[in-house]
Amino acid sequence: FTVPSRAIKIAVIGASGVGKTALVVRFLTRRFIGDYERNAGNLYSREVQVDGEQVTIQVQDTPGAEMTDNGISLPDHVSCSIQWADAVVLVYSVTDRRSFDLIHHTHQLVARAGGAGAPPVILLANKADLLHLRQVDPQQGPLLAQTLGCSFYEVSASEDYSQVHGAFHRLCCQLAKQTPA
């Protein structure tokens, strides 16, 4: 028989269109799929090796905070995926200033929804390949990450597998260390 492998659960949260699905698919399959079915809220799962150990990575692709008439709100299902997750990956697109502006609020909501056991967070700036469409300066991401106390990576789901893989992989290694089998 096979021993079921340990699961590492990651919630990927950010505004619509920032590339959450593209990043998750890129990390788990190495492929960039530019055109796929809209599947926000989907759970992706794959067995990978982390530090020589076979683990199951489960990634939940989750829409982030939304601007509403009453200010900024976090849909209920986002709170559920934060509580479910061992770690949270916050994503904005360097081509979408609004998605960047929402990160700070989303982070506060993550901290609140997670309570005392708030999950570790990393910040990803996606679409770094679209230089001519940039709306968020390269130095703003690291500054925000410093304020939030989390790691930062600027990546491109379409152009660069190694950066995307590196960011997720380091997070998985950190989690594997924190929660021994």
Minimum distance from residue 11 beta carbon to ligand GDP (Å) = 13
21 binds ligand GDP (CB under 6 A): yes
Token pair belonging to 45? 């799962």
Q: Return the range that interacts with ligand GDP (CB under 6 A); candidates 81-89, 110-118, 145-153, 156-164.
A: 156-164
* Spatial distance between the Cα atoms of 6 and 121, rounded to a whole number of angstroms: 20
Is 142 a binding residue for ligand GDP by CB under 6 A? The answer is no
Cβ distance to ligand GDP smaller for residue 86 or 154: 154
DSSP for 20-77?
Answer: HHHHHHHHHHS---SS----TT-EEEEEEEETTEEEEEEEEEEE--EEETTEEE--HH
**Contact 81/60 with Cβ under 8 angstroms?**
yes
Least distance CB 110 / ligand GDP (angstroms): 17
Residue 10 is a binding residue for ligand GDP (CB under 6 A): no
Q: Which residues bind ligand GDP (CB under 6 A)?
A: 14, 16-22, 34, 61, 126-127, 129-130, 156-158
